[in-house]
Structure 1
Amino acid sequence: METTNMEETDQGIDEFLPEETGQFLRHIPEEVISKVLSGLPIKSLCRFKCVCKSWKSLISDPKFSLITSRGRERAIFWDERTPSFYSLDRDLVLEKLPSPLEKIPDCANQECLFLGSCDGLLLFRVSDTVLLWNPSTRCCRRLFNLNLMAKDYVVEASGLCFDESIREYVVILALFGGRRGDRRIVLSASLSTKIHKRICFPYEICYLANSGISVNGNLHWIIQERKGDPQLIIYFDAKASRFSKLPMPKYNVGDSTHIFGLGVLDGCLSMSRFGNIWNQEHANEILIMREYGVEESWTTLCCLPFKVVGGLGWLGWLPPLFYTKKNKEVLVTNGVHVSVFDLRDKSLRDIHLPKLPNFYQCHMYLESLQKVHPLNPDESMGKEKEKLVICKD
């Protein structure tokens, strides 16, 4: 099990602090320290874990990590030409990230595919290898080999979520294929125990979206049960270990039921769909579910005009990645352009990112201190153990 970790060392240095400094720190209320630290950059927090044991304990607390992730949305881009990862913040500043693939054998210079994200952790695959990465702490870990785990199957959909019942992150994989080529199975894989279990998938479908969106502790995908039917949103409740349908927004006459994608905007589930076919100004509608699970809370955030791209025709916009620092603007992409839409004057302007190609993969993640724990030696799963969970017809 290979792990790369670029976090600062977390060894306490209390004994190296001057006595008067230590006395001063011990008399500051923890809530004051927490408020001050929560406004600092993630890189600084990684270093400040070394100040003293109490700061290390505070910064390492998962609750503190969730507090510091608010307002730290970023977009990550994968440039397959270089290959390189780039991160764009809410100030629209582009930064090249150290690639985790260079440290992991057989992964360097391979194509990357994002599979999902949760609490600042990114799940992606390189060839048949699935990896977990925190871009903020530069920590990455190889999870498992898909070819060994599910031979003769391809990944149809995937996602990463936190299971409150076991206090653990789990990977959800929807696999299609098998020796007959027509079988669909869904697996849940715990990151700590490496136990894979089958989950009942109660739908007969002809379409299932690829990367699951984590909101309110659940994973969400787009499905279509039969050709010509409206597209729907389903979610996986990790605690109950079951799939259900999410209430959809009401449709008006002329509204299309085609969904371009799902996303998260300011903690709410968002959706981009083909708008009203009779109104070109509402060709691409962005909706937000203000109150999770409540049908009436679906609200139209904005409507975007389609863009014509040479050789590709009209391209629809994906859900906004995040609000910019101005708060009245959202960052959007259609797979070719990266643009900012102003919610006040309804204007759309392209962002020039010369380091990125015309075509790229893009995903939203949060800056966070969530750890990517390596497995203990007695829990590690080599090829021999992985073969035990190969799915057979």
Structure 2
Amino acid sequence: MMRRKEFVGSFQVPEEIEREILSRLPVKSLFRFKTVKKSWRNLIGDSTFIAMHLNCYGSNTDGFLVHGCYSYGIQLSRSSFDQPRKYIIGSINGLVCLSDKIRCFLKKDDRLRIHICNPSTREIMELPQCYHDHNDFLSGIGFGFCRKFNDYKVVKVSYRRDSSSSEAQVQVYSSNMNSWKMIKIENPSLWTLLPLYRGSGCFNGAFHWQGLKKSSSKKIIKTVVSFQFDEEVFREINLPNDPDFQGDVQFFITEYRDFFSSLVVKQGPNVNVYKVWVMKEYGAPDSWIKQLTIETFSFKIAITDSFGMIPKASKWTANLSYYYNGIVLVARKAWFRCPKKGSTTSFQ
């Protein structure tokens, strides 16, 4: 028996097997295992292992949590933030980007506090201050991931209030460099970014905003503006030339079954109509198709966008108390947890 104990005690699991096992564990377990031994702590913090863990575990879509909040900041309890209100800019790979300001004028001495946090590990990092001049108007903030360089980036777009030109000033933060840089853009006055809560999100390595632009006939038309994090360039995605996107309608940028999509909402006195448009080939405007049309009884809703997090979920949905093919509709000021089995739980 003594020899067996000695044999077991001297057995060492190969490093590649340890790496494979750890990469399949939940984040909370990894957070605890960092204290087991130094080699595990170094491994779990390694960027190569983090990418491996995302591939193995990050694709799990067994459930999601939705907060339907329309025009309010969020209260972060038991955190290190000293401001009571924060706005969610976006989330990717389990990281969440928060800002204390959106769509506002900034004086030269004003602080714009942007944080990147990992809710699973409770780690929070405040970004260094970015440059802004006197009376800059903060138009948009985006958050995403550059796969080419394994780099998380934040883009900030602002305009000079007292300038005769509508030229945008664009700055990009790199987590690898932990610094901001100014970049030049083509056609800087082409788009006017709409408030982030009107539908924004990260898809296919780019952050997306709703936008407005002037047509050749000087008519204001709706469009989508994207910032590609790999190339650090802006691009335009034309919306379908369809009455669904004309007039006073709401549309929201989202993801539907791994496709770039737009949810059009028309609220009536008795019936709400939701139409899902899907871009079958990303970036090709001719590939837009109308995938779904849903009619429900009328109730006040808030479509979760930049003020809420929706981890990727493409198998089910919740319309108050039932699912419908990937569209998430939530009542105002309510939380819904939608597990894989098909039931819905509401938390007021």
Rate the CA distance shift 1:260–1:181 in 2: closer, same or farther, 3 A: farther
Partner of residue 210, structure 2: 222
**Matched-pair contact (CA < 8 Å) for 2:147–2:230:** yes
The residue type equivalent to 2:125 in the other structure is R
- Contact kept, 8 Å, 2:68 with 2:331, in 1: the verdict is no
Indicate if the aligned counterparts of 2:68 and 2:303 stay in contact, CA closer than 8 A. Answer: no
Query: Residue 285 of structure 1 aligns with which residue?
Result: 275
- Cα distance in 1, alignment partners of residues 58 and 148 from structure 2: 23
Letter of the 1:123 partner, please give it: C
Q: 2:125 aligns with which of 129, 136, 141?
A: 141
Whole-angstrom CA distance in 2 between matches of 1:43 and 1:70: 16
**How big is each residue's C-alpha offset from its partner over 1:367-386, in whole Å with a ceiling of 9 and x where there is no partner?**
xxxxxxxxxxxxxxxxxxxx
Could you tell me which residue of structure 2 aligns to residue 332 of structure 1?
329
CA contact (8 A) 1:116 1:122 kept: yes
Q: Percent identity?
A: 16
The gaps in structure 1 that reach 5 residues or longer are: 1-17, 86-97, 342-346, 355-393
Pairing partner for 1:200 from 161, 166, 185: 185
Tell me: CA distance 1:299–1:136, structure 2 relative to 1, closer, same or farther (3 Å). farther
Cα offset for 1:115? 1.9
Letter in structure 2 aligned against 1:144: P
Distance 1:316 1:284, change over 3 A: farther
| Contact persistence 1:306–1:317 (CA under 8 A) | no
Amino acid aligned to 2:94? G
> How large is the RMSD of aligned CA atoms in angstroms?
4.3
Partner of 2:347: 353
Letter in 1 for 2:126: R
1:196 CA displacement: 1.8
- Give the 3-state SS of the residue equivalent to 1:124 in structure 2: strand
Partners of 1:78 and 1:84 within 8 A in 2: no
Query: What is the DSSP-based 3-state SS (H/G/I as helix, E as strand, rest coil) of the residue aligned with 1:57?
Result: helix
Alpha-carbon offset, residue 199 of structure 1: 3.2
What are the Cα deviations for residues 269-292 of structure 1, in whole angstroms up to 9, with x where unaligned? Answer: 232124699xx9782212333443
2:241 is aligned with 1:255: no
| Inter-CA distance 54–229: structure 2 relative to 1 (3 Å threshold) | same
Q: Does 1:302 find its partner at 2:286?
A: no
Q: Which residue of 2 aligns with 1:70?
A: 59
1:1-16 matched pairs, under 5 angstroms? none
For the structure 1 residues 339 and 163, does the alpha-carbon distance in structure 2 shift closer, same or farther, using more than 3 Å as the test? closer
In 1, are the aligned partners of 2:139 and 2:193 still within 8 Å (CA)? Answer: no
**Aligned 8 A contact 1:188 1:198 in 2:** yes
1:176 aligned to which of 151, 159, 170: 159
In structure 2, what residue type is equivalent to 1:170? K
> Which segment is superposed worse, 314-323 or 281-290?
314-323
Give me the whole-angstrom Cα distance separating, in 2, the residues matched to 1:125 and 1:37: 33
Pairs within 5 Å for 1:83-94: 84-85=75-76
Q: Deviations over 1:22-60 (max 9, x none)?
A: 625228x63x963x5455322012223445636852674
Deviation at 1:259, TM superposition (A): 4.5
Q: Show the counterpart of 1:115.
A: 89
Letter in 2 for 1:323: A
User: 9, 14, 29: which one pairs with 1:44?
Assistant: 29
Q: 1:127-181 deviations in whole A, cap 9, x for unaligned? A: 53111111121110111346x6444223211111223454422211111343348
- Secondary structure of 1:122's aligned partner: strand
User: Following superposition, which runs of at least 4 residues in structure 1 exceed 6 angstroms of deviation?
Assistant: 78-83
- Aligned mate of 2:142, from 151, 156, 159: 159
**Contact 1:337-1:350 within 8 A present in 2 as well:** no
Q: Counterpart of 2:170?
A: 186
Q: Which amino acid aligns with 1:171?
A: V
Distance 2:313 2:145 in 1: 24
Aligned residues: 303
The alignment partner of 2:244 has SS state of coil
CA distance in structure 2 between the partners assigned to 1:306 and 1:153 by the alignment: 43
User: Which among 116, 121, 132 is matched to residue 132 of structure 1?
Assistant: 116
Distance 1:250 1:22, change over 3 A: farther
Residue-by-residue CA offset, 1:65-102 (whole Å, 9 max, x unaligned): 322211257446599999744xxxxxxxxxxxx643xx
TM-score by length of 1: 0.61
Higher RCO (CA 8 Å, separation ≥ 6 residues):
1
Query: What is aligned with 1:371?
Result: none
SS at match of 2:11: helix
- Which amino acid counterpart does residue 161 of structure 1 have in structure 2? G
SS of the equivalent of 2:191 reads coil
Report the AA paired with residue 162 of structure 1: F
Q: TM-score, normalised by structure 2?
A: 0.68
CA distance in 2: counterparts of 1:59 and 1:116, whole angstroms: 23
